[in-house]
Structure 1
Amino acid sequence: MVHAALEAPDPRALDLSGLGDAIVHYAPDGIVLVDAAGTIHLVNPTLLELTGFLAEDLMGQPLSVLLPPSVRGHHAALVQGYFQHPHRRAMGSGPLPGESFALAHAMQESGMRRFEIAHKSGRSLCVDVALGPCQLHGQPYVVAFVRDIAHIRRIESELALQATHDALTGLPNRRKLHDELQRLLAIAQRHGRPLALMLMDLNGFKEINDEYGHAMGDQVLQAVAQRLQGALRSSDMLARLGGDEFVILVSEMGDAEDYVTIGHKLLAALGQPLEIDGITFSLTSAIGVSVYPVHGVDAQSLVRFADMAMYSAKRQGGSCVLAYDSDMGAQMHAKVQILERMRHALDQGLLELHYQPQVDAVTGRTIGVEALLRWNDPVLGQVPPDKAIAVAESTDMIHRLGQWIIDTACRQSAEWSRKGLEVRMAINLSARQFRRPDLVQQLCAAAQRHGARLHNLEVEITESQAMENLAHTNELLDQLHACGVGIALDDFGEGYSNWVQLQRMPIDRLKLSRNFLRNIDDSDNDRRLISAMLAMSRILKLMVVAEGVETSAQRDFLTAQSCDVLQGWYFARAMAAPELEARWLGCGVPQGDVQPDAA
């Protein structure tokens, strides 16, 4: 019957005589049968394929031929230990049954990983082993199943590397740094040696990400890591904390000042022009240093003090090596307090803009104003604007503060325009603001939001900012010009004073540095220099604003030399919008000198 034909046969009727041979032959794991003397009696094709041996190489041979040379001497102990305590061992279940502590220690000391066997070529193979005792013809045997786990070990190694190393640069990461720092501190404490921790980040790296994208930023970080590593000794450790922050551990120092030499080597390596995909970057960094045991004796203190030193180095110019000193703690506390109060002031509307008039040197009428930050904090008191901006500039707070200044200036400019008071509003840009790729959009959006007229707005950038990256500068200034925004070059004369470059830049006005005016009453050289600069400006058809005018003598000299616009305490201090509107917009120049106020 069909039904009967489809029924499973009776297992008792099967001939299983060849099943054992088939299992051994086709098993995916290597199989070895060993007697109590440690002699090999059976191997399967999988084991031969795994080890590279032929069957005749192994049959009748001691098990030691399958052990790495470093532990072959322990072969007898391995076999004896197992047969004294024969147990079944599953894959991945721990030490070999019967393996003594002494044997395990000897194997570890020899450099052998627990489960390794020898390949015919002499190399070692990573394996896992399952063992089972059996009786054949009344004699005890052990059958070993051997599984190749090289791919598992590779994965484990990769995971271990990922846990301790940065995926982007391949450098040790924060976790690895912590472990290594603890190890080196223990050595330094034991032997009384100094240990330096150097912390550094890249100046302006955020702007690189913003302008060129994170993919380009990643390439910059990879190149920086290679340069820094190349500048270090083999005994030094370079790690990446994250972002653009790197740490260097210097443990082998002849004296506690060796970090200075190493730091300058790092800055020199970093300072070489870096070209990626046709774009050239000029990179700088500030390096802060703390030294065990001078500055701290634990990891947390050394990292914190190096961080303080790094930010102090940034305030000193941003491309130097600076070690921690105790005054930095107070400086860092003051900086943190200023940032906290600034955040509060922005949230609560406690900041102000005051406006200093710019007057036509011939008619005496106010034709423009410069917007200047004023901050009277309930806790800190009057905070000098240069100090507030410098602190903000050292963090991302400058972007929020800069946005507030632009918004407030645009709002005020729009209000004056609605009253028929058309004056140019000069807005100072910090270095980081100027490097923002969306600066033009930010300014135009603020003007549109508040109804300000773009042709009434002017941005002021310093000469050093303009010359830092001429290609970027000219592109950005061209975009601002296309929108109708005016451009003034501030503090002219303190930097490059490159007249050739000025011809190629879309600049409307030069603001003569106040430092040139201080000695014109007594210095013929200063007077000649100012006259020459004004003459050259006329040739280039650039309007000149002289700032810092404090006396009638300075006013008279500048007017005689055909300077276009004058600004300074002689005319007026910076003041709130209502006072300026009531007293100065549309008015002439006051008679007599004005006592200097805080500008």
Structure 2
Amino acid sequence: MKILIVDDDPAMAKSIRGILATVGLNAHSVTRGQLAIDELQLHPYDLVLLDLNMPDMDGTEVLHHINAHKIDTSVIVVSGESEIKKAIEVLRAGAKDFIRKPYSTDELLFSIKNVCEKKALQLQNREMVEKLEESEALHRFIVHNSPDLLYMLDRCGNFVFVNKNTIKLLGYSRKELIGKHYSDVVYAKDLAKANMFFNNGHFPINTSSLELRLVCKNQDNLLHVEVRALNIEKKIAGGYKLGRHNTLTQNFIGTYGVARDITERKRSEEIIRFQMNHDLLTGLPNRTLLNEHLAALITHAGQHHEKFAVLFIDINRFKLINDTYGQSIGDDFLRSFASTLRRELREGDTLARLGGDEFILLLPDIDSEADAMTVADKIIAQASMPYLHNGHEIHYTLSVGIAIFPEHGETREELIKNVDTAVCNAKTKTGSRYCLYNRNLKNQNSQKVFIENLIRDSIKHDRFVVFYQPQIDLPLKKIHAVEALVRIMSPNKKLILPGKFIDIAEETSLINDIGEIVLEKVCHDINRWRGLGLQIRVSINMSAQQLAMEYFADTFLGRLEEHAINPADIELELTENVLVQNMKRTIANIVQLTDAGIKIAIDDFGTGYSSLSYLDRLPLNTLKLDKSFVQKISEENQQDTIIPAMINVSNGLQLDFIAEGVETKIQHEYLLNLGHCIAQGFYYSKPLSYDQLITFVKKHGLS
């Protein structure tokens, strides 16, 4: 066995060589990280004993080099580093063990022996795989499907073979499983489809795979598996053959199959599904799930000639609470408010949060408008009790709009529109009041008209400005890219943020004009950076309307060509719901843009309405996690997050992963410890003007 010792302390290296010599092992030593890399490139080594703290290149960099260049060696880190985080980091990076100095001779030799035995086992497994590849169809089937559980059933459906993983995961002994019918370990609710798959225990029908739940021995756990199977028939001349047949023959002797454990994947999918359909702050249904419940309620009430009520609940001047006490207390208030409302509801009622301080309540099966008004009175009465926080009383009032099905609308759109009109009119009343919709009410659209006029005037007088927020490569601590963020500079020199005008711009199609203005300004700034010797990638937000335009890609690329902009310097951010609007034309534009070299990022990942299936079907480069996930990270609940699962998804698809909305040191350190991640938020920098960004780049550098 060839061993390389990497330690900047010659005395320590000599000591290790002496220890190895006692068991007949020889070792070569070097004192610097670069020398270790040079040696590994020239000569093969079975094992590297690697120190972390060295002057020119630390051990972590050597370890990353070994991984990056796929050098076939095992690494044991031998270091005086005392932080457990460092040990976790190097083990995640591929080290086989971590030994802290000072150590005993037995500890070092035991670790080396353990690593060598594992490597020998890996070599044995590799040889076994090579033999399997040369074997008959049965062996090829096992290899190609990389099974976790291997099993064989006889013609009656009883187990005649199970591997160790099957025993381990189900909790039974081999003796308990052999002879047991497959139905004994299938969850009762999945038994019908299991019987169909295995054709009542005889052999599988022509189905590629099936997801089942298996019951473990302790009865408390369900194992989610993806099952694949082949029937086995005896050859006339002896031996066996595998295949799929839809008729039972006398030569059929049983079934061979594999089952892959997908329990963790199912749990992740359930978490993601919950996040996509619920408000992360309050746990209430979000707009997506509300629309589903409302559509189902309309169908049911229409068929049974029932009434139901829609209540729009708005917290008056909630922004003042946020501005006065801070967002954290504002969030606590919203959680408490939602919890209080839920306690007053019937089992069949639905309370949803639309966002901000707006809630919708569905009251099915009511007798009259009076029932809905009674509930509104109770809700408003709750607001008479102030919210208590650290001894301080926070007083608030509510406005409630009411619409009744079918009198005030027979479709989802009509009901939401009319209840919105009702709550707008309720706001004009003094204190906490409710308003029942009637056709004489006027919708409060004057503010929308004002915003639309502001946008048109800003386009005419060139009042749009572009700021840039850096995206930080956490391992490198340098700028990865910047996101272009548009604002309006009002005539009185105040910045108007996009939250005030983007929705109106999309409703009026003025978003296309804004998009052209932003692109023009970004191209101009990129050329100015180029004159300073800087190459900065810019991420630009794209709306669904722009991407659905027939010649959008041609126009966009033409504008880049006019300014001599390299498409690789541009990344377009799309929200998930963009992908479900005019899908065909949108995807055609995306493909044309990526073929030209433009990068594509999915913004607000995890909150959209589309299926995760698009991730491996579209030419994507980046997943940008919605800030609501990051905001959940705190010192108390660092384990209660699905961000590691999201990163695994992006790593598996070889996509960059950006976490936005990082505002605290705890959030920053959490993301830093997860490994390679790009982060964006006020913790690193607010959106910067052109001149401010130049100063920021000079200070932090580019990755």
Is the structural similarity TM-score above 0.5?
no
After TM superposition, the score normalised by the length of structure 1 is 0.44
Higher relative contact order (CA 8 A, sep 6+): 1
